[in-house]
Amino acid sequence: MSSAIPLISEELKNYLAILLGNEVSKKYLQKIVTPMEEYSLHIYRDVSRVSEILDALELKGFNAHQHEIFENLIIIDPKGPFELTNLEDSKEIIVDNRAAEMIYQGADVFVPGVKRANRVQAGDVVNVFNQRNILVARAEAAMSHNQMLKENRGIAAKNILSPYVVPSFDLLNDETLPIYFQSIPAYLASVNLDPKPEDKILDCCAAPGNKTFHLNELTKDQAKIIAVDRSKRRIEKIKSKIRQYKTSNITAYVGNIIDLSKEWDIKFDKILVDPPCSSLGLRPRLVHDIDVKTIESIAAYQKAILFACDKLLKENGTIVYSTCTITKEENEEIIHHAAENMGYKVVEQNFVFSKANISISDFTFPVQRFIPGIDNTLGYFIAKLQKSKS
């Protein structure tokens, strides 16, 4: 199972071959179905607890070490791959495709993700499949099928064996730890914005807030930071963290930045733009169910977000644009549009870790593109833009 190729449409397969070339496309498809080779745990503000966290991870059987450059990052290797075979004549639990990807890397089966569990009784050892008949785990049912139908939360089955096990907060068993998982590329997006204590900063698509708090950490709680997201539920989580971390200089708003840009009379020194995207860089992905028409539609929305942010940015201000996808429409073509039609200069980034030195069309601007199969991360894109004086 660990060497499986994700279920993917011929349209998208052909798109990737043209975009990346046959060799890199093949590497991507082999790795996108697996977790990242390295997970990074961000310790917010308090690096004095690094040794404590490393010891806790070692006790749980994970290899981990402190990052060689960023002392507030711990790098953790996932466990696996483990051989997972179909238990003949066993009952089955079918889960939705997104839940399956979490279960595939060690999570338990939670009730909201269950689509079908015919005749399953508590205590049964079952095969767990996604909706496309991919085996993702062996599990022991914690509820009967009837209980699952009645309940809307809770653990339906405990994971016994999955191809991978990735680190989770539960392993550390300490809710007081100021930590969150943040991939290296996402970490670099905040660092490369080069935020200063005197800056006024906008995080325009902020949820779940990891970059927002990273920007605050980098500016030592001094910058004025505004976080915006369309999801009320996710903004409430950011507000909860603001209270937890006793932070007074971050303000969180529910809203669409395109609409807010028409209402606000405010200018920012720096803006982080991490817009909704096709998410073709997230790992693991067992099913790719997006088409090129949808990618183009998402890219049009991203351009609208960038245009809105331009109205909110001071002359000579800076934007870092990032996505967790690998398409040219959502990445290079957006940056080309900013440079050719919006008067932006694409500038060098202070921290460049990507190994994926791939030519995309005739694009020559200095950007970072992370590609599974070449980099030990999720697929990601980062560009740094400077606004010209009018």
Residues 151 and 204 in one domain: no
Question: What are the distances in angstroms from CA 262 to CA 154, 251, 270, 305, 311?
Answer: 43, 19, 18, 12, 9
Residues 224 and 144 in one domain: no
Residues 349 and 294 in one domain: yes
Cis peptide before 208 (omega within 30 of 0): yes
CA distance 365 to 330: 15
Residues 357 and 256 in one domain: yes
pLDDT for residue 4: 54
Give the residue among 341, 343, 332 at the shortest CA–CA distance from 383: 332
Is residue 49 situated within a structural domain? no
Instruction: Give the chain's domain count.
Output: 2
Residues 99 and 145 in one domain: yes
Q: SS3 string of 296-343?
A: HHHHHHHHHHHHHHHHHEEEEEEEEEEECCCCCCCCHHHHHHHHHHCC
CA distance 106 to 159: 7
Residues in the chain: 390
Give tens-digit pLDDT for 309-357. 999 999 999 999 999 999 999 999 999 999 999 999 999 999 999 998 7
Q: Are strands 179-181 and 39-43 parallel, antiparallel or unpaired?
A: antiparallel
Give the residue among 389, 360, 356, 349 at the shortest CA–CA distance from 375: 356
Least reliable range by pLDDT among 52-56, 218-222, 366-370:
52-56
Token pair of 10, please?
A: 């011929």
Residues 382 and 246 in one domain: yes
Give tens-digit pLDDT for 235-266. 999 999 999 888 999 999 999 999 999 999 99
CA distance 331 to 278: 11
Is residue 11 situated within a structural domain? no
Residues 6+ apart with CB under 8 A from 193: 201, 215, 270, 272, 318, 320, 384
Token pair of 205, please?
A: 């698509």
Is residue 31 situated within a structural domain? no
Show the domain range for 128.
Answer: 92-161
The DSSP 8-state label assigned to residue 352 in this structure reads -
CA distance 40 to 29: 23
Residues 155 and 210 in one domain: no
Give tens-digit pLDDT for 358-381. 778 788 899 999 999 999 999 999
Is residue 72 situated within a structural domain? no
Residues 193 and 326 in one domain: yes
Question: Computed over its alpha carbons, how large is the radius of gyration of the chain?
Answer: 22
Domain boundary among the residues 100, 127, 161 is at 161
Residues 247 and 371 in one domain: yes
Give tens-digit pLDDT for 279-305. 999 999 999 888 999 999 999 999 999
Letter string b/e over residues 345-383, b meaning 16 or more CB atoms within 10 A of that residue's CB: ebeebeeebbebeeebeebebebbbbbbbbbbbbbbbbb
